């Protein structure tokens, strides 16, 4: 009876989850083994798509991997610093900082990219400001349309998202163990490493995973601020669909990227828990 | 974190065509240009329909699920929540393409309705997490007392539980709406030939250097930020 | 500012506090006091919530900086030192176990920070774990421990540091009665075995009486009385102490010309001292059902209003003729006759067993 009711309550959400997440992704996965002939999907079971992924897109995958890793590490680090300030140092301003951060979370994905475009452009604010101050003699053209611009834009977009799990993790740490550690002779740094960080592990992993996956799968940012040389896997996946109408290859590319990301995430997790394990 | 957004707002009121400093004279020209654009009104209508539908549906579904989850044991509850949250972690492009593939595979015509369906899958986890967090603090003994005094399960939900979590539910709905309105990638792929405000921005960004983009951006910005700011206010950022 | 209250004694003080006080804004949590803690004593800070006892404890531990005054520990001025620089260790009310560490790692953490050689660290940890009867639980995680076990881990973690002063903040209050009694016995045994100076905070007078060699009763940021459990029980300095430590009947009256006059008393009693308002404090256990052959300093008539059985003793409420109720307890022995509810009888006690408080 009680079980029945729980099931009924969960049913719609489970339906949405299954019908619009599990099934489409499974289908998408199946497609990655199909082929395209005369612009039509042909059911098949071949690894040829994955083979071409390895042959043709390795460079893009490696580039995407490193740029996403950079973004994820920097974002997680900065988000942790902010969350740490909010929890331990900012006192009354903590909630206010958090409020601003959360509000900017939904500031419009495209609008943010657009904003960075105007900031980093040749006639943009940053160049104008540096020219005016006299730091540079002519505008830096590499600011926009470069990997730097992609990193900055995604960092700005991801920071509030990454902040959420970290604030949650830090808030669930009670004060007592921290006071005890100090009482037992721990310095601020030791308390951070021995007591606070190990307890934030799930939050750190979530923040990292979130920034890493979203960066690795993004194609809008590199398209708009990345310039001609910053092609990430997302751009290739998208173009397989939109321009070449080769869904199977796009799917294979997507799942290869996901797999690499998952392996990287697993490695990150292991490394993190190794380095934070109490000795 | 705020400053890039402030700039967009700034430029939307300036007469400078290139969105650089100096901003130029204060003007509402870009808003006038925007409001004369028929596409803006189409996009606005679609965005409104999508945002409101997603807000209502994901809140109802998510609240039910959160209620169900509180009845589970904590380890099982955590598993369910993490599983349902997976769509947030998925790169939107991959999810969008998977959805497009299945819609076209099943021969479903794409439009506003497919966007609404697609948005549900990544807005409902937010509602579930927010409402669930609130329910975790809720003392269910009061529901038992209501039942003991003769209230039906339905009745006790509406009389006891709902009044206590109403702010949270409204907050969760607003968050869901902000996320829905903010989404571009999934909307872009699943709307077929339709148009919403974000896809309009996309079109403008790619084709022209039309400063009315700043005006549109500002409007979207104020809408999403407004939703989330109110939401955070009422839920007192519990999540 | 008020004069610091002095309760410093000579002797071997391991903690010496002078003019110590703590205010939060306008709110004075602890008024200026001098207080010494002697080496080897087991001091209880006893008082209701909000009396400043935890504030005092946290100042000794270095968790709160005093507003005025100084603290010396082992002759060194530690007033400005944080907890990490003091040889005191505090057992927190909620234990504060490190949730991501095993029992063993929890206990060894402080030694690790002090860079104790591995062998010595293991030995000390083992010894401490077996002292608190946690052998076999070394590799458990804190979540898998019962309340009593968690309490022992917290205690072991502090004790293994061999603190100059061990501080405990209501650390038994979360345990149920049975377990609390067991832990009290154990704490006493450990104190006897290891020696050392212990200070603990409690609102439970039974706990204070069963553990402490000295009790400091606190109220509204003041230490209102100090002494052994017996001292405080038998000679409470104020109505507050009398009511807070043990049960007491309190009868208000006035002393004039060496005679006590109280509306509730049916008899006149002589008492030396100046003329003033007084309160007579009588513990329930000193009042007897009057034996007709004996003489009592205080004697009066009453009716048994209720009678409660407690196994080792009986507790009675006796209504005096004009409405006042007196509580008395009767230790049971087989020969005693026990009066019934409704019975009229005489009760009495002697002046040397009750305490007369002046002008309060």
Tell me the domain boundaries of chain B: 38-205+220-238
User: Per residue in A140-171, pLDDT tens?
Assistant: 777 778 888 889 889 988 998 898 889 888 98
Task: Report, as an integer, the average pLDDT of C196-219.
Answer: 93
Enumerate the residues of chain A whose CB falls inside 8 A of the CB of residue C154. Answer: 180
Distance from CA of B221 to the nearest CA of A (A): 5
Compute CA C153 distance to the chain's CA centroid, rounded to the nearest angstrom.
23
Q: Which CATH number fits domain C247-358: 2.40.50.140, 3.40.50.1820, 3.60.21.10, 3.10.150.10?
A: 2.40.50.140
Task: State whether A125 and B198 contact (CB < 8 Å).
Answer: no
Distance from CA of A10 to the nearest CA of B (A): 4
Task: Domain ranges for chain A, please list them.
Answer: 56-276
Confidence of residue A2 (pLDDT cuts 50, 70, 90): low
Tell me, yes or no, whether chains C and A touch by having 3 or more C-beta pairs under 8 A. Answer: yes
Judged against a pLDDT cut of 50, whether residue C3 lies above it is answered with no
**Residue C220 near residue C55 (C-beta atoms within 8 A):** no
Beta sheet of C259-261, edge-to-edge order: C269-270, C259-261, C249-256, C276-282, C355-358
Portion of chain C with pLDDT greater than 70, in percent: 95
| Whole-angstrom distance, CA of residue A33 vs CA of residue A26 | 12
pLDDT of residue B119: 93
Task: Domain ranges for chain C, please list them.
Answer: 5-243, 247-358
Find, in chain C, the residue whose alpha carbon is nearest to that of A174.
C96
User: Per residue in A205-259, pLDDT tens?
Assistant: 999 998 998 898 888 888 888 777 777 888 888 887 777 677 888 888 888 888 8
Q: Is A229 left (phi over 0), alpha (psi -120 to 50) or beta?
A: alpha
Tell me, yes or no, whether chains C and B touch by having 3 or more C-beta pairs under 8 A. Answer: no
Enumerate the residues of chain C whose CB falls inside 8 A of the CB of residue A279. Answer: 112
Question: Among B139-148, C47-56, C227-236, C274-283, which stretch is predicted with the lowest mean pLDDT?
Answer: B139-148
Q: Pick C156 or C275 by higher pLDDT.
A: C156
Those of residues 183-212 in A touching chain C at CB distance below 8 A are: 183-187, 190, 194-195, 198-199
**Residue C91 near residue C105 (C-beta atoms within 8 A):** no
Nearest to C90 by CA among C115, C66, C62, C112: C62
Judged against a pLDDT cut of 90, whether residue C18 lies above it is answered with yes
Q: Which CATH number fits domain A56-276: 1.10.3720.10, 3.40.640.10, 3.90.700.10, 1.10.10.10?
A: 1.10.3720.10
Strand C68-73 with C13-24, pairing: antiparallel
Tally the residues of chain C. Answer: 360
Portion of chain C with pLDDT greater than 90, in percent: 53
CA angle at C71 for the pair C68 and C73, rounded to the nearest 5° = 175
Per the omega criterion (within 30 degrees of 0), is the bond before B22 cis?
yes
Task: State whether A185 and C61 contact (CB < 8 Å).
Answer: no
pTM of the model: 0.81
Nearest to B123 by CA among B4, B231, B236: B231
DSSP secondary-structure letter at A137?
Answer: S
* Chain A CB within 8 Å of residue B226 CB: no
| Whole-angstrom distance, CA of residue C31 vs CA of residue C24 | 11
pLDDT of residue C134: 92
Find, in chain B, the residue whose alpha carbon is nearest to that of A167.
B239
Task: Report, as an integer, the average pLDDT of B119-129.
Answer: 92
Task: State whether B120 and A160 contact (CB < 8 Å).
Answer: no
The CATH classification number of B38-205+220-238 equals 1.10.3720.10
Tokens representing residue C173 in the block: 């209050």
| Whole-angstrom distance, CA of residue B78 vs CA of residue A44 | 38
Tokens representing residue A95 in the block: 């909630």
B6 — phi, psi (to 5°)?
-60, -40
Find, in chain A, the residue whose alpha carbon is nearest to that of C159.
A184
* Chain C CB within 8 Å of residue A172 CB: no
**Residue A41 near residue A31 (C-beta atoms within 8 A):** yes
Enumerate the residues of chain B whose CB falls inside 8 A of the CB of residue A98. Answer: 237
Q: Pick B12 or C143 by higher pLDDT.
A: C143
A-interface mutation test, from B7, B23, B97, B117, most A Cβ less than 10 A away: B97
Task: Please report, for residues A202, A272, B78, the alpha-carbon distance to residue B82 in angstroms, rounded to integers and kept in the order given.
Answer: 12, 20, 6
Task: State whether A182 and C83 contact (CB < 8 Å).
Answer: yes
The dihedral formed by the CA atoms of B198, B199, B200 and B205, expressed in degrees to the nearest 10: 90
Q: Is A107 left (phi over 0), alpha (psi -120 to 50) or beta?
A: alpha
Find, in chain C, the residue whose alpha carbon is nearest to that of A279.
C105
Confidence of residue C191 (pLDDT cuts 50, 70, 90): very high
DSSP secondary-structure letter at C331?
Answer: E
DSSP secondary-structure letter at A169?
Answer: H
Q: Is C172 helix (H, G, I), strand (E, B) or coil?
A: coil
Residue reference for tokens 């979540």: C143
CATH topology of domain C5-243: Rossmann fold (3.40.50)
| Whole-angstrom distance, CA of residue C150 vs CA of residue C134 | 10
The dihedral formed by the CA atoms of A217, A219, A225 and A227, expressed in degrees to the nearest 10: 110
Q: Helix, strand, coil % (nearest 5) of chain A?
A: 75, 0, 20
């Amino acid at each position: 009876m009680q079980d029945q009711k729980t099931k009924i309550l969960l049913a719609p959400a489970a339906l949405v989850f299954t019908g619009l997440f599990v099934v489409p992704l499974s289908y998408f996965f199946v497609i990655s083994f199909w082929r395209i002939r005369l612009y039509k999907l042909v059911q098949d079971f071949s690894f040829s798509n994955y083979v071409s992924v390895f042959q043709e897109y390795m460079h893009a995958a490696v580039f995407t991997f490193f740029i996403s890793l950079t973004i994820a590490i920097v974002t997680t680090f900065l988000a942790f610093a902010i969350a740490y300030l909010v929890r331990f140092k900012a006192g009354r301003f903590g909630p206010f900082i958090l409020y601003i951060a959360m509000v900017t979370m939904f500031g419009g994905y495209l609008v943010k990219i657009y904003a960075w475009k105007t900031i980093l452009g040749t006639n943009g604010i940053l160049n104008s400001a540096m020219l005016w101050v006299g730091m540079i003699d002519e505008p830096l053209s590499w600011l926009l349309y470069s990997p730097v611009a992609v990193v900055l834009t995604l960092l700005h977009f991801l920071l509030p998202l990454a902040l959420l799990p970290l604030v949650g993790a830090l808030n669930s740490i009670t004060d007592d163990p921290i006071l005890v550690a100090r009482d037992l002779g721990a310095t601020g740094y030791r308390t951070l490493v021995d007591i606070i960080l190990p307890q934030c592990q799930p939050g750190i992993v979530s923040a990292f995973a979130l920034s890493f996956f979203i960066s690795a799968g993004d194609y809008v940012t590199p398209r708009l601020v990345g310039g001609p040389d910053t092609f990430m896997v997302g751009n290739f996946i998208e173009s397989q669909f939109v321009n070449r109408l080769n869904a199977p290859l796009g799917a294979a590319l997507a799942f290869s990227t996901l797999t690499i990301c998952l392996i990287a995430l697993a490695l990150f997790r292991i490394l993190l828990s190794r380095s934070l394990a109490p000795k | 974190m705020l400053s890039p957004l402030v700039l967009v707002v700034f430029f939307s009121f300036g007469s400078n065509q290139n969105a650089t400093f100096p901003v130029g004279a204060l003007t509402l020209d870009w808003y006038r240009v925007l409001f004369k654009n028929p596409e803006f009104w189409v996009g606005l209508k679609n965005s409104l329909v999508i945002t409101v539908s997603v807000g209502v549906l994901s809140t109802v579904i998510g609240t039910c699920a959160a209620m169900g989850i509180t009845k589970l044991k904590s380890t099982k509850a955590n598993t369910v929540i993490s599983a349902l949250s997976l769509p947030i972690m998925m790169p939107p492009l991959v999810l969008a393409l998977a959805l497009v593939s299945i819609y076209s595979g099943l021969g479903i015509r794409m439009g506003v309705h497919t966007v609404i369906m697609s948005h549900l899958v990544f807005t409902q986890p937010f509602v579930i997490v927010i409402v669930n967090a609130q329910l975790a603090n809720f003392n269910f003994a009061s529901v038992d007392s209501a039942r003991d005094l003769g209230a039906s399960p339905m009745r006790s939900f509406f009389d006891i539980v709902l009044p206590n979590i109403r702010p949270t539910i409204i907050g969760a709905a607003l968050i869901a709406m902000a996320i829905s309105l903010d989404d571009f990638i999934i909307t872009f792929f699943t709307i077929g030939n339709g148009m919403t405000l974000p896809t309009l921005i996309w079109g403008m960004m790619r084709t022209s250097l039309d400063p009315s983009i700043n005006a549109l951006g500002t409007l979207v910005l104020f809408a999403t930020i407004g939703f989330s700011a109110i939401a955070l206010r009422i839920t007192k950022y519990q999540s | 500012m008020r004069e610091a209250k002095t309760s410093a004694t000579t002797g071997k003080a391991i903690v010496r506090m002078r003019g110590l006080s703590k205010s939060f804004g306008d709110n004075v949590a602890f008024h200026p006091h001098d207080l010494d803690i002697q080496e080897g004593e087991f001091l209880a800070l006893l008082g209701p919530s909000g009396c400043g006892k935890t504030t005092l404890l946290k100042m000794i531990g270095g968790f709160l900086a005093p507003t005025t005054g100084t603290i010396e520990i082992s002759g060194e001025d530690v007033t400005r030192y944080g907890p990490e620089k003091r040889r005191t260790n505090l057992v927190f009310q909620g234990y504060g176990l490190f949730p991501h560490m095993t029992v063993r790692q929890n206990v060894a953490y402080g030694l690790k920070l002090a860079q104790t050689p591995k062998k010595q660290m293991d030995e000390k940890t083992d010894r401490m774990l077996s002292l608190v009867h946690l052998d076999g639980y070394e590799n458990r995680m804190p979540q898998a421990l019962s309340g009593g076990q968690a309490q022992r881990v917290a205690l072991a973690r502090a004790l293994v540091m061999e603190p100059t002063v061990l501080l405990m903040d209501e650390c038994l209050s979360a345990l149920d009665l049975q377990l609390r009694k067991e832990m009290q016995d154990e704490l006493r045994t450990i104190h006897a075995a290891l020696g050392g100076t212990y200070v603990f905070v409690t609102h439970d007078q039974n706990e204070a009486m069963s553990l402490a060699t000295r009790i400091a009763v606190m109220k509204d940021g003041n230490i209102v009385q100090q002494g052994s459990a017996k001292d405080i029980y038998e000679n409470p300095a104020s109505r507050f102490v009398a009511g807070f430590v043990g049960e007491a009947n309190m009868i208000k009256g006035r002393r004039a010309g060496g005679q006590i006059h109280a509306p509730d008393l049916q008899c006149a009693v002589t008492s030396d001292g100046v003329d003033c308002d007084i309160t007579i404090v009588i513990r329930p256990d000193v009042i007897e059902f009057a034996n007709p052959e004996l003489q009592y300093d205080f004697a009066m008539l009453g009716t048994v209003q209720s009678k409660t059985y407690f196994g080792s003793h009986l507790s009675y409420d006796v209504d005096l003729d004009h409405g006042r109720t007196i509580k008395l307890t009767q230790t049971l022995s087989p020969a005693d006759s026990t009066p019934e509810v409704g019975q009229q009888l005489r009760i009495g006690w002697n002046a040397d067993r009750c305490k007369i408080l002046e002008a309060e």
